[in-house]
Structure 1
């Protein structure tokens, strides 16, 4: 027991899962004796002060857990430490009167939080995917079925900060964005800020996705194995020596191995894999350390020996992270994170008939090495956090075609600090913050990013929300505006003659508590981006080239404005949400004027529902949205020229209309999900079935011209057709 001499008594500790020993984040803590309450933080720690001495009854609750009641005698003054454990349980609305959700509503300016259990009950294409469930939240759009990238409130995915336990991860996608790199089994939860995020997050100007890894079961080894039509995966967790624990997940696709067994003389030379794990080691009562390893990769090796030709593509991430946490007191702790995050993309196309070396060769990589120290203090609805950061980024970009080569290599660094406060003043919860960054690269920059969030309680169950701030980004991404294939993003530092990209956020809205498990939230926002870069647009291009391949970087400022509304139910047999978004986004180029980015969805509505009935679970998602903008081909003409030997030759050039001035038809799709659990020869099994686009609506992906006919005919490439998939899962 640790006693701190205060004017009144207090209780503090950490809430853990009774079966696994892992911390339970954002759990409710309520003192039945006085009526006061609080909520645990992301690591399960809590503090509740200003309590009278004597015996108190506390209730610890969280969605998906059985409430735990403890009677605790508090000293005359000081802090009583306890470490309650709560046991998982299928909870219905009649079985629980309060959870951490109520305390979160009263005391937090909270982001969107997704429990990993909800991810498995959402219909997704072949594999459960955390990115797919985020795409169903108001404010997030997916321009098509073939990407899991997050387009948040009119911004590009390259403007999002994605973290794994505090380390940045770039392009976390497989197969051109069709699948994300995160395995749901190894995740303990995630936090998603769609704008106005706190000062501790820097380096991006749209949104933040903070992914947390499980620390592992401290009592026994167990796991699960999954087999789907796409991949096989394995998950293990359990104790190690001296109170330490681990969690590890691995996944690999097997198209390259299985398809040749069924199709004669057929090869599919592509696969992807993921490895994600974490270990936690307690050093003493106050100190512990953790280690996270994350690796993802895509491999394509296509060889045509009879043609003396081959294509090779390799891309992926490797993250190594160590963190150290020290508990100064029940309400104060510090944390040190040290990491290295490496992303690379390598492509080569060769023809030995021309050269012994690859004819075309390309490589883009970014290695980030960094450290962050933070000191955190929290007491119920008060708190403070301050920290220091350092990050060094090694950018490498090289392209070679024949005898021509071009490359950039630069190692800029960024150092900064942040301070963030949380205070309850009457009926107002205020969270101001300030971030200061110094960037040294081709040029030197010092940038200050003030942040502010407010929550004013109009009534006990209705709150007014407001947030805003300044946000800077120190990377430039080629094709960031129009590219719908996230794996093709190429990362560069702030180039000579350029300044860091900048954005301003202003958000306000209302949040209504409708009862335990029910919330209604509506927000309107305005986001202005005076400094952003894009590839220069050209109206005339050679037939077969892409719009983005013409020209250099140009300044492309813009803005977005809109509204989001979300009705959400968290507790009971039926859970889910209904959401609607309105987004109006525009960008500017001097040669074009104002235009709509290709990922803007003006109207976007989602319904996601999951129902549990005994050993059966059912889920559905329905999405209807406006079509995305596109640039139309208006005509083509023939350009005549003379070749070196004096022959007359020509090429076809397209004439394009105003950039993104037309829209594809309305998009809509319904998906279904069913799951059942049973035992076969004492082995627990779960079988899942998913139906994608159940009524087989033909959603347009893009238009293209068939030039084999005269005059050319416009044809349609559609998105995902009706598709059924089955998976099986076993736990042990």
Structure 2
């Protein structure tokens, strides 16, 4: 009854938002240097309504009809762009960050055609970008980012029960995730230790500004992974007024709160919790094996001036599952047991604009992941696996971009990680996929490792429709006491605005998960690949 009442209230609130008008506001900036663009013309397509960005690149279009809208952004010396799928709600302001790519001005008269796609004119292969609305409307994805990514070429799911991504035939451990420049170990509930997967997506799509996914041949700015990089940008909270949104679906109930914190800051908070366990406790549904999970996601920003912006990110998940032997037997489950998993990442990112041609991003973050798992064999009640472990990581990352000339830019930076792990694990006797018997194993250990990296990357549009990207990345891993050097290269030729060809090469190295290293008495070779 309580859940039904909440559902009816939420439907009433949503219905009450129809009709009326809202507004569209945001910032326009250069896609490479991130510097604000002044005097950009923003036209609401199909109307006479529009706005012009101010000296800080800020704009606002008032009295916009509710529903899906499109904006055309045009600026002298830059490619004209159309921003589609802007959802406007009554009495609310839709926030945008619009990035424009610099264009070469021809001396002869030419026709300017607006594009729905935004490209930086650099030789970046296999890069796909999704907006929040594309993720929300993707059929069958239910707002889960990983499910949308599997629709891309060369990417597959390992199975239907997990969001593990196999990119270009690689292993699921070979993908890494960044949220607002801060590395996140996993973006799923009930994560599999050392891997990228889990059965239920963790990211709240209402928090997202955009998602960039790059499969293989990614540039020197990223490393310690063999297959892919996913970068998720959270949007800023509303700086004009307080807003709240309640959601209720099959995965759980949640609320989003956002609003201003003074003139220069804002907050965006998300709280979610599953409710199936509450139904199980209220009604006899014949089983008690129901997952209980929740998460908190938060972003607080402070913009001291047009050059300095601080962002605080909090990313927390809490997962629990308890299954009894009786339920396992009645439901033909092979194993039963308990799972208690928690993950917390807290970090700060500082973006500094040096001038109109250069900027820096510097972040520091702490991540803690804890596992307490027990699994038994149904029927025999034999202990199959015990996993009581914790992993703590301190991460520092700095990247700097400088546009030396109109057609020449350089990016450089450094990364540093300190990791500590503690394991108290037991693995029961079993058989591998080849039918060979494996003896029981006990893992009790404490380890501390560090990872250091430097990278340098050069982008050049060196001749007419040709562009080149060349980079080097050096890495040191204390566990293997090894130093590696990774070259990255990409060449692009643009036939016309709709057609291009990109040839790329890169060498990549990756650290193995600490649990896998500790289980092997002999030192494993550092994995590497060429793309």
User: What's the TM-score, normalizing by structure 1?
Assistant: 0.54
CA deviations on 1:343-372 (whole Å, 9 max, x unpaired) are 232213699xxxxxx996322333221111
In structure 1, what is the equivalent of residue 448 of structure 2?
Answer: 411
Residues 259-338 of structure 1: matches in 2 within 5 Å? 259-263=280-284, 266-302=287-323, 311-338=337-364
Match of 1:107 among 121, 127, 146: 121
CA deviations on 1:83-110 (whole Å, 9 max, x unpaired) are 2425487346999974355783462445
| 2: CA distance, partners of 1:84 / 1:211 | 23
In structure 2, what is the equivalent of residue 345 of structure 1?
Answer: 371
| 2: CA distance, partners of 1:61 / 1:435 | 43
User: Post-superposition shift, 1:251?
Assistant: 1.4
Residues 123-138 of structure 1: matches in 2 within 5 Å? 123-124=139-140, 127-138=142-153
CA 1:306/1:243 → structure 2, altered by over 3 Å: closer, same or farther? closer
Match of 2:419 among 393, 396, 404: 393
CA 1:276/1:144 → structure 2, altered by over 3 Å: closer, same or farther? same
CA 1:192/1:84 → structure 2, altered by over 3 Å: closer, same or farther? same
CA deviations on 1:466-501 (whole Å, 9 max, x unpaired) are 1111111012487xxxxxxxxxxx686997532321
Residues 622-701 of structure 1: matches in 2 within 5 Å? none
| 2: CA distance, partners of 1:382 / 1:62 | 34
Q: Is 1:362 the equivalent of 2:387?
A: yes
> Would you say the 8 A contact 1:259–1:268 is kept in 2?
no
User: Post-superposition shift, 1:259?
Assistant: 2.8
User: Post-superposition shift, 1:318?
Assistant: 1.0
Q: Which consecutive unaligned segments of at least 5 residues does structure 2 have?
A: 1-21, 75-79, 83-99, 101-114, 192-197, 329-334, 378-382, 429-439
Q: Is 1:195 the equivalent of 2:220?
A: no
Residues 232-631 of structure 1: matches in 2 within 5 Å? 232-263=253-284, 266-302=287-323, 311-348=337-374, 361-378=386-403, 381-400=407-426, 405-427=442-464, 428-441=466-479, 443-476=480-513, 496-505=522-531
| 1: CA distance, partners of 2:301 / 2:376 | 46
CA deviations on 1:242-270 (whole Å, 9 max, x unpaired) are 42101111211111101332326743452
CA 1:106/1:237 → structure 2, altered by over 3 Å: closer, same or farther? closer
User: Post-superposition shift, 1:331?
Assistant: 2.0
> Would you say the 8 A contact 2:471–2:487 is kept in 1?
yes
User: Post-superposition shift, 1:415?
Assistant: 1.2
> Would you say the 8 A contact 1:167–1:340 is kept in 2?
no
Based on CA coordinates, which of the two structures has the bigger radius of gyration?
1
| 2: CA distance, partners of 1:215 / 1:264 | 42
| 2: CA distance, partners of 1:244 / 1:109 | 36
> Would you say the 8 A contact 1:248–1:278 is kept in 2?
yes
Q: Is 1:59 the equivalent of 2:59?
A: no
| 2: CA distance, partners of 1:389 / 1:108 | 24
| 2: CA distance, partners of 1:64 / 1:186 | 29
| 2: CA distance, partners of 1:406 / 1:492 | 8
User: Post-superposition shift, 1:129?
Assistant: 1.0
User: Post-superposition shift, 1:416?
Assistant: 1.6
> Would you say the 8 A contact 1:20–1:218 is kept in 2?
no
Q: Is 1:90 the equivalent of 2:90?
A: no
Q: Is 1:117 the equivalent of 2:154?
A: no
Residues 693-712 of structure 1: matches in 2 within 5 Å? none
Instruction: Please tell me the root mean square deviation across aligned C-alpha atoms, in Å.
Output: 3.8
Q: Is 1:45 the equivalent of 2:40?
A: no
CA 1:495/1:410 → structure 2, altered by over 3 Å: closer, same or farther? farther
> Would you say the 8 A contact 2:214–2:229 is kept in 1?
yes
CA 1:68/1:381 → structure 2, altered by over 3 Å: closer, same or farther? farther
In structure 1, what is the equivalent of residue 5 of structure 2?
Answer: none
> Would you say the 8 A contact 1:135–1:150 is kept in 2?
yes
> Would you say the 8 A contact 1:292–1:321 is kept in 2?
yes
The number of equivalent residue pairs is 440
| 2: CA distance, partners of 1:63 / 1:200 | 37
> Would you say the 8 A contact 1:475–1:492 is kept in 2?
no
In structure 2, what is the equivalent of residue 648 of structure 1?
Answer: none
| 1: CA distance, partners of 2:426 / 2:133 | 47
> Would you say the 8 A contact 2:389–2:422 is kept in 1?
yes
CA 1:495/1:332 → structure 2, altered by over 3 Å: closer, same or farther? farther
CA 1:425/1:408 → structure 2, altered by over 3 Å: closer, same or farther? same
User: Post-superposition shift, 1:291?
Assistant: 0.5
CA deviations on 1:57-113 (whole Å, 9 max, x unpaired) are 7435899999956499xxxxxxxx542425487346999974355783462445211
> Would you say the 8 A contact 1:419–1:434 is kept in 2?
yes
| 2: CA distance, partners of 1:426 / 1:188 | 34
In structure 2, what is the equivalent of residue 209 of structure 1?
Answer: 230
| 2: CA distance, partners of 1:223 / 1:150 | 33
For residue 90 of structure 1, give the secondary structure of its aligned residue in structure 2: strand
| 2: CA distance, partners of 1:248 / 1:426 | 47
| 2: CA distance, partners of 1:266 / 1:406 | 33
In structure 1, what is the equivalent of residue 159 of structure 2?
Answer: 144
Q: Which consecutive unaligned segments of at least 5 residues does structure 1 have?
A: 1-17, 28-38, 49-56, 73-80, 352-357, 479-489, 506-732
| 1: CA distance, partners of 2:418 / 2:36 | 34
